Chain A
Amino acid sequence: MKISATRADKLATVVFQFSAWLSVVVLAGIFTLLLYNGFKAFDRIRPQEFFLGYTWNPSGYSAPHYGVLSLLGSTLLVTCGAMVIAIPLGIGTAAYLSESAPPRVYQILKPVIELFAGIPSVALGFIGITILSPVLAHVFGLSNGLIALNGAILLALMALPTIITVSEDAIRAVPKTFREASFAVGATRETTLWRVTLPAAMSGIITAVMLGFGRALGETMTVLMATGNALAFPGGFFEPVRTMTAAIAIELGETAQHTTHYYALFAVGALLFAISLLVNILSETIARRFRYSQS
């Protein structure tokens, strides 16, 4: 028997509704798990020590310390550093690709960039250790190149394909008539890009940056390999650091279950989750404010 079109439609609706809700449930489940276990940490650690403490040293001989600030600082340093590099580079590349790249150049660059998104993070970490860190050490006269800057550059490389691809789509979606109207009053290509095209694409560009930021924030393997894993509050881009993700990845496997350390790592995970949720909500709000004008 043939399934009628409306039947098939209804079935598809149900399936997609189900998967949409499933993702919500899974997300909520993860957050609950993190929060539930994370809260248990505060049975044994005072919240002010966790949130305001600079020292993360769970295996200290005299007394263990669970101050998250050094991990948080490292994460923010490396991620924001990556964004400082990736945002201008990514938007610039997207603008070049969509506005002025000759077709032949485009046909080469586009697949290369897409391929770039597929590089496993462990491979990037490898490049960070063997190539980038010696270069950095040489250029800046350091004894060791496994520093925050190393991680920031690698994370920028990881975030770039996302930022470029999504921004390019946003820029291409700007109606041609806006550009033509700008040229028709005598504006140059550059002025048109800066004052008409990019502002009109802004909500999509913000989404692109947010996705890139999320990618960099949650990245573990690269920073774990490339940033030296020092347990201290970061002194700057030229110091080794240990990010929140690296701490969880390194320490959770070696920690006995149901110990203070174990729960503290869950608390770190919950905090990380909360941060990316916050970034999401924030950029969604900003993007929506830019979107008002598009019709």
Chain B
Amino acid sequence: MILSLLISNKIEIQHLDLFYGAKQALKSVSLSIPEKSVVALIGPSGCGKSTLLRSINRMHDLDPKVRLDGEILLDGHNILHGNTNLNKLRRRVGMVFQKPNPFPKSIYDNVAYGLEVNGIHDKTRIRAAVEESIRESYLWDEVKNDLDKPALDLSGGQQQRLCIARAIAVEPEVILMDEPCSALDPISTAKIEALILRLKERFTIVIVTHNMQQAQRVADFTAFMYLGELIEFGRTSAIFEQPNQELTRNYVSGHFG
């Protein structure tokens, strides 16, 4: 592809097959994700978006019935290789989940957790990083006086921004987001979208979304998936305005899914 000549790719997925037991959920998916860009994964429910996303930080390792074939290169190294250090990988590839899932701990401890488990124990350094991450997530002004309060007392939108703060606190290179706004109201969604646009200056972001407008607002590139296959991938404007595939055209124009 021409793209890969012009822009360095952070992630290259090559011929990825994934099986849940006997059921194949990804069929030879190949996809290149340029550094410091936002890539949206779209497609009808059950097409394998979350499955693909969770392959990139090897979340599937928790599920013994999942089998993966193919390659996922992160900076040129295959992370599906058996001797990959999963803890280091997940520090480099952070994740934000569909439903906000802060720990039942204080706001401060939620963000500090990632630093502590990665071996940082210097209190002043942690404090500085916690504050910076919460600021970066556009949450600081709302919580700065309540850092010791339970995170679960926050609103859904605030919780999701806290989860983003938790993810960026460990300074990952890639952030995976699985429908991060699907449980949120429009105002919270707008805040998170603004946040994503700013975060892409520092991180490579892959976001799953069912919201076509959202994909167009935040994503530089869009991948359309259908029944476990990657149907089409390209610049977001191209995917939405002149798709090459009939299926893509039908989906983005709202004819099915």
Q: A184-B95, A293-B152 are in contact. Are A178 and B117 (CB under 8 A)?
A: no
Which of A184, A191, A293 contacts B104, CB < 8 Å? A293
In the bound complex, do residue B59 and residue A187 qualify as a contact, i.e. CB atoms below 8 Å apart? no
> Chain B: how many interface residues by the 8 Å CB criterion?
29
In the bound complex, do residue A186 and residue B118 qualify as a contact, i.e. CB atoms below 8 Å apart? yes
Which chain B positions have C-beta within 8 A of A195?
113, 117
In the bound complex, do residue B166 and residue A178 qualify as a contact, i.e. CB atoms below 8 Å apart? no
Question: Please, how many angstroms separate the alpha-carbon atoms of A177 and B102 in the complex?
Answer: 9
Whole-angstrom distance between the Cβ of A85 and the nearest chain B Cβ: 29
Whole-angstrom distance between the Cβ of B93 and the nearest chain A Cβ: 8
Whole-angstrom distance between the Cβ of A279 and the nearest chain B Cβ: 25
In the bound complex, do residue B113 and residue A182 qualify as a contact, i.e. CB atoms below 8 Å apart? yes
Sort chain A's interface into a size bin: 20 to 34
In the complex, B47 has a CB within 8 A of chain A:
no
Question: Please, how many angstroms separate the alpha-carbon atoms of A191 and B118 in the complex?
Answer: 10
In the bound complex, do residue B118 and residue A185 qualify as a contact, i.e. CB atoms below 8 Å apart? yes
In the bound complex, do residue A184 and residue B167 qualify as a contact, i.e. CB atoms below 8 Å apart? yes
Which chain A positions have C-beta within 8 A of B113?
182, 185, 187, 195
In the bound complex, do residue A186 and residue B103 qualify as a contact, i.e. CB atoms below 8 Å apart? no
In the bound complex, do residue B114 and residue A178 qualify as a contact, i.e. CB atoms below 8 Å apart? no
In the bound complex, do residue A186 and residue B101 qualify as a contact, i.e. CB atoms below 8 Å apart? no
In the bound complex, do residue A200 and residue B101 qualify as a contact, i.e. CB atoms below 8 Å apart? no
The B interface is mostly helix, strand or loop, or mixed, namely helix
Whole-angstrom distance between the Cβ of A193 and the nearest chain B Cβ: 12
In the complex, B140 has a CB within 8 A of chain A:
no
Which chain B positions have C-beta within 8 A of A180?
59, 62, 95, 97, 101
Give the number of A-B contacts (CB < 8 Å). Answer: 76
Which of B88, B91, B103 contacts A181, CB < 8 Å? B103
In the bound complex, do residue A177 and residue B170 qualify as a contact, i.e. CB atoms below 8 Å apart? no
Which A residues, 173 to 203, have Cβ-Cβ distances below 8 Å to chain B? 175, 177-188, 191, 195-196, 199-200
Q: A195-B113, A196-B103, A294-B104 are in contact. Are A185 and B59 (CB under 8 A)?
A: no
Which chain B positions have C-beta within 8 A of A292?
150
Which B residues, 93 to 117, have Cβ-Cβ distances below 8 Å to chain A? 94-95, 97, 99, 101-105, 113-114, 117
Q: A175-B101, A180-B97, A181-B163 are in contact. Are A186 and B170 (CB under 8 A)?
A: yes
In the complex, A6 has a CB within 8 A of chain B:
no
| Closest chain A residue to B99, Cβ basis | A177
Whole-angstrom distance between the Cβ of B233 and the nearest chain A Cβ: 25
Question: Please, how many angstroms separate the alpha-carbon atoms of A294 and B150 in the complex?
Answer: 10
In the bound complex, do residue B94 and residue A185 qualify as a contact, i.e. CB atoms below 8 Å apart? yes
| Closest chain B residue to A179, Cβ basis | B62
In the complex, B155 has a CB within 8 A of chain A:
no
Question: Please, how many angstroms separate the alpha-carbon atoms of A184 and B58 in the complex?
Answer: 9
Whole-angstrom distance between the Cβ of A45 and the nearest chain B Cβ: 50
**Interface 1/0 per residue, A77-108 and B, CB below 8 Å:** 00000000000000000000000000000000
In the complex, B57 has a CB within 8 A of chain A:
yes
In the bound complex, do residue A181 and residue B166 qualify as a contact, i.e. CB atoms below 8 Å apart? yes
Which of B86, B97, B105 contacts A177, CB < 8 Å? B97
In the bound complex, do residue A177 and residue B117 qualify as a contact, i.e. CB atoms below 8 Å apart? no
Whole-angstrom distance between the Cβ of B122 and the nearest chain A Cβ: 18
Which chain B positions have C-beta within 8 A of A182?
103, 113, 117
Question: Please, how many angstroms separate the alpha-carbon atoms of A182 and B103 in the complex?
Answer: 9
Which chain A positions have C-beta within 8 A of B89?
186
In the complex, B90 has a CB within 8 A of chain A:
yes
Whole-angstrom distance between the Cβ of B176 and the nearest chain A Cβ: 8
Question: Please, how many angstroms separate the alpha-carbon atoms of A295 and B99 in the complex?
Answer: 13
In the bound complex, do residue A185 and residue B104 qualify as a contact, i.e. CB atoms below 8 Å apart? no
Which B residues, 125 to 148, have Cβ-Cβ distances below 8 Å to chain A? none
Report which A residues bind B (CB closer than 8 A): 175, 177-188, 191, 195-196, 199-200, 292-295
9 contacts between A and B (CB under 8 A): A175-B101, A177-B101, A180-B59, A182-B103, A183-B62, A184-B57, A196-B103, A199-B104, A200-B103
Closest 3 CB pairs of A and B: A185-B114, A293-B104, A186-B91
Report which B residues bind A (CB closer than 8 A): 57, 59, 62, 86-91, 94-95, 97, 99, 101-105, 113-114, 117-118, 150, 152, 163, 166-167, 169-170
For the complex with contacts A181-B166, A185-B118, A293-B105, 9 further pairs of A-B residues with Cβ separation under 8 Å are: A177-B101, A178-B101, A184-B90, A184-B94, A185-B90, A185-B91, A185-B167, A186-B91, A295-B152
